Amino acid sequence: MRIALVAFTILVMGVLIVIPLVNVFYQALAGGGGVYWRNLVADADTRHSIYLTLIVAPLAVAANVVFGVAAAWAIARFRFPGRTLLTAFIDLPFAVSPVVVGLFLVLIFGLQGFLGPWLRAHDIKVIFAIPGLVLATAFVTFPVVARELIPVMEAIGADEEVAAVSLGARGWQMFSRVTLPNIKWGLLYGIILCNARAMGEFGAVAVVSGRISGQTDTMPLRVEKLFQEYNMPGAFAVASVLASLAVVTLLVKTGLEWKTRSDLAAAARETARGKT
Amino acid sequence: MTKTLVTAIIAALTMIGGARPARAESLSLLNVSYDPTRELWRDINSKFIPAYQKSTGTTLDIKQSHGGSGTQARAVIDGLEADVVTLAMWPDTDAIRKAGLIDAGWDKAFPHNSSPYTSTIVFVVRKGNPKNIKDWSDIVKPGVEIVTPNPKTSGNGKFSFLAAWGSVTERGGSEAEALAFVTKLYAQIPVLDLGARGSTTTFVQRKIGDVHLTWENEAHLEVDEAGGAVEIVYPPISVLAEPPVAIVDANVKRKGTAAAAKAYLDFLYTKDGQEIIAKHYFRPIDAAVFAAHTATFPDIKRFPVTAIARSWDDAYDKYFGDGKIFDSFYKPKK
């Protein structure tokens, strides 16, 4: 029975994940390394899509780090009315289709939308420009950092922070000297996951991008465009960069998971010792 | 540490903000177009940019955006700052006028109802035409699978529908017969894609279907890409498509690009522009250029949309309006 289950899982993993992943690299490299490299760097629009993704994803991640730490702290450390509701709301972007997220933004910032005419009058571009891409990406990846931090902060508990405050630490001192070192691995894990999700985001970004080649096309949009233009080697080359990112994320994530787990176990051991 | 991070973020933001053209002698134009024209515009831009620089000294940077015609019109209405729109059909461009971004009378601003080229819907079949498809009646024979995009979302899809409808009514059939014909036709479509390029992928790469109803230029591209695995069949009658071009007046006024946008669209009507158009298998309207390419463009009877409806607005409502003809018989497969 066990063997059958394991074999089944491996089969499904192989067919659904490993074979397509290997195929992406195989197709990308089918013309040889030189062709692969040219597909990535010779086309100005492809180059720009890589550059754009490298701007949009870190900005979205930065926004979510600030938000994630604040939200996790509020939820893990304080009891206040609406706390459960807030926890549920953090997960909302995971439940909503990314396309709908894009449409939210169009309804708010679009020329026919709520803020659109005012923005146009003041010559501020949000959708169909980088701010819109960052907003869409940040919205979709909103829960990632907070979701990672809440269990870590709850497991570690407030004892050390209380001790720091009682010894005269100010808020910022306590955060940077006590809280941050405690949550750093969980935070890093959240950042990596958030970044991977941000770089690969398609649905919400597709709605607010306007699909201008060499201006608002991120890597996932570029893959689609190249594919539709019958440029298979080009499409697979860009796809392989995204896939490599996924593989790197997976490796780092596994390493960090191991690290956080042993940290949590150590913290738990220490709490247990403190109680006896 | 924090300071460096803040500095880096500010630097990144400034860089983004600084992407606007600073000097008067360089301008940026955005051309928002539909799906199958990517290769055409790339070619036009590469010829027009040096010509414009030579005659005016202004360096142009022309950006392109492509997608389903209706989706693209929606994006411009929602604030995508197009200087020119070159969409698949009249109602999409006119929707932007209705939103107040294009001035009235846009369809008379350039020659030939602002359509620098025409096109039509043709058949693409597997090599050797194994199902012996020659006319519209052949595609609804039992066992023939048809591929074409959804008329609700795609310009190609709409024109395929109108061509099929008119192939009956323009040859003496009644509207009831036309309805029976399209009912049969859409029952034989295994996949109804969202846009022209999606259908092409379905037909050529996924090898689904026996006949693909598509734009004439897309058909040629498909034959080139498939390396002889498919071939074009011209039906004796099809629809006349006249994709219009227009300047988005509200945007060019804001950006100060009116003159460049006009020159860009005017270029399409020059001999050079018309030659590029013909090279990409769109039918040029210039008689001399067309005459030089008659071998590429077989002479088939093409009826305008106004032959099967009072106007474009009427056609939209009559055939594709909610609960109207298309909805009356088409039930999505579960």
**What would the two tokens of residue B229 be?**
């695995």
**Rounded Cα–Cα distance for residues A240 and A19 (Å):** 13
Residue A183 pLDDT grade (very low, low, confident, very high; cuts 50, 70, 90): confident
Residue of B nearest to A130 (CA): B16
Round to whole Å and give the CA distance between A84 and A102.
Answer: 26
Report pLDDT digits (tens) over A91-106: 888 888 888 999 989 9
Distance from the A4 Cα atom to the nearest Cα atom in chain B, whole angstroms: 33
What is the Cα–Cα distance from B80 to A177, expressed in whole angstroms?
Answer: 47
Chain B, window 68-127: residues with a beta carbon less than 8 angstroms from a chain A beta carbon: 75, 77-81, 99
**Residue, of A52 and A265, whose pLDDT is higher:** A52
Predicted confidence (pLDDT) at residue B47 exceeds the cutoff of 60: yes
What's the whole-number mean pLDDT along residues B245-256? 95
pLDDT at B194: 79
Which residue is it, tokens 């996790």? A72
Asked if pLDDT for residue B13 goes beyond 50, the answer is no
Task: Tell me: ipTM over 0.90.
Answer: no
- Report the pLDDT value the prediction gives residue B195, as an integer from 0 to 100: 79
Secondary structure of residue B59 in the 3-state scheme: strand
Please indicate if any CB of chain B lies within 8 Å of the CB of A108: no
Total number of domains constituting chain A: 1
Most confident range (mean pLDDT) of A160-164, B32-36, B219-223, B263-267 is B263-267
The pLDDT score that the predictor gives to residue A1 is 81
pLDDT > 80? residue B102: yes
Most B CBs within 10 Å, among A212, A215, A218, to test the B interface: A212
Asked whether the beta carbons of A142 and A90 are under 8 A apart, the reply is yes
Nearest-CA neighbor of B29 among B272, B267, B241, B197? B267
Distance CA B69, CA B210 (A): 26
Counting residues of chain B whose pLDDT is more than 90, the rounded percentage is 75
- What is the per-residue pLDDT for B333? 59
Least confident of A185-199, A256-270, B161-175: A256-270
Q: Which member of A106, A211, A212 has the closest CB to residue B78?
A: A106
| Residue that is written with structure tokens 């738990």 in the block | A268
Nearest to B79 by CA among A105, A114, A112: A112
**Domain span holding position A113:** 44-275
Q: For residues A134 and A266, which has the higher predicted lDDT (pLDDT)? A: A134
Q: Which pLDDT band holds residue B273 (cuts at 50, 70, 90)?
A: very high
Residue appearing with tokens 């036709």: B185
Please say if the pLDDT value at position A273 is more than 80: no
pLDDT digits (tens, 9 = 90+) for A239-261: 999 988 888 888 888 887 787 77
Could you tell me if residue A15 is inside a domain? Answer: no
Q: What confidence score (pLDDT) does residue B15 get?
A: 47
Mutate: best of A111, A172, A191, A221, partner B, most B CBs <10 A = A111
Residues of B in contact with A231 (CB under 8 A): none
Q: From the candidates A49, A119, A177, A215, which should be mutated to test the interface with B, based on the most B CB atoms within 10 A?
A: A215
**Measured distance CA(A208)–CA(B82) in Å, rounded:** 14
**Who contacts A126 (Cβ-Cβ below 8 Å, separation ≥6)?**
A105, A109, A115, A119, A132, A135
How far is Cα B238 from Cα B36, in angstroms, rounded to an integer?
A: 19
Residue A245 CA: distances (Å) to CA of A222, A251, A274, B72, B294: 16, 10, 42, 31, 51
DSSP string, A71-105: HHHHHHH---TTHHHHHHHHTHHHHS-HHHHHHHH
Give per-residue pLDDT as tens, A65-94. 999 899 888 888 888 888 888 888 888 888
Domain of residue A259, CATH code: 1.10.3720.10
Nearest CB to B79: which of A110, A214, A215? A110
Minimum Cα–Cα distance from B32: chain A residue: A212
Task: Report d(CA B144, CA B122) in Å as an integer.
Answer: 16
Q: Which of B191, B57, B209 is nearest to B124 (CA)?
A: B209
What is the per-residue pLDDT for A218?
93
Instruction: Over range A41-46, report the average pLDDT.
Output: 89
At A180, the pLDDT band (50, 70, 90 cuts) reads confident
Averaged over B264-292, what is the pLDDT? 96
Section A119-146 average pLDDT: 91
A213:B30 CB<8 A:
no
**Which residues partner with B302 through β-bridges?**
B238
* Residue A127 forms contact with B (CB below 8 Å): yes
Residue A112's H or E segment, with its range, is none
| Residue B21: band (very low, low, confident or very high) from pLDDT cuts 50, 70, 90 | very low
Structure tokens at A56: 């949009």
- Most A CBs within 10 A among B65, B98, B204, hence the mutation to make, goes to B65
Q: Stretch B134-162: mean pLDDT, rounded?
A: 92
Residue A72 CA to its chain's centroid (Å): 16
Per-position DSSP letters for A38-66, written without gaps between them: HHHHT-HHHHHHHHHHHHHHHHHHHHHHH
Give the right CATH number for B23-118+242-292 from 3.40.50.970, 3.40.190.10, 3.40.605.10, 1.10.240.10: 3.40.190.10
Of B148, B86, B112, B94, give the one whose Cα is nearest residue B315: B94
Q: What is the mean pLDDT of chain B?
A: 89
Are B23-118+242-292 and B121-240+300-329 in the same CATH fold? Answer: yes
Residues of chain B neighbouring A229 (CB-CB closer than 8 A)? 38-39
Q: How confident is the model at residue B331 (pLDDT cuts 50, 70, 90)?
A: confident
Distance (Å) from the alpha carbon of A3 to chain B's nearest alpha carbon: 36
CATH numeric code, B121-240+300-329:
3.40.190.10
Tell me A215's DSSP state. T
pLDDT surpasses 60 at B40: yes
Domain boundaries of chain B, sorted by first residue: 23-118+242-292, 121-240+300-329
Residues in B closer than 8 angstroms to A230, CB to CB, are 221, 225
Contact status of A121 with chain B (Cβ, < 8 Å):
no
- Look at residues B5, B2, B10 and name the one whose alpha carbon lies nearest to residue A175: B2
Q: What is the DSSP string of A147-210?
A: HHHHHHHHHH-SHHHHHHHHTT--HHHHIIIIIHHHHHHHHHHHHHHHHHHHHH--HHHHHHHT
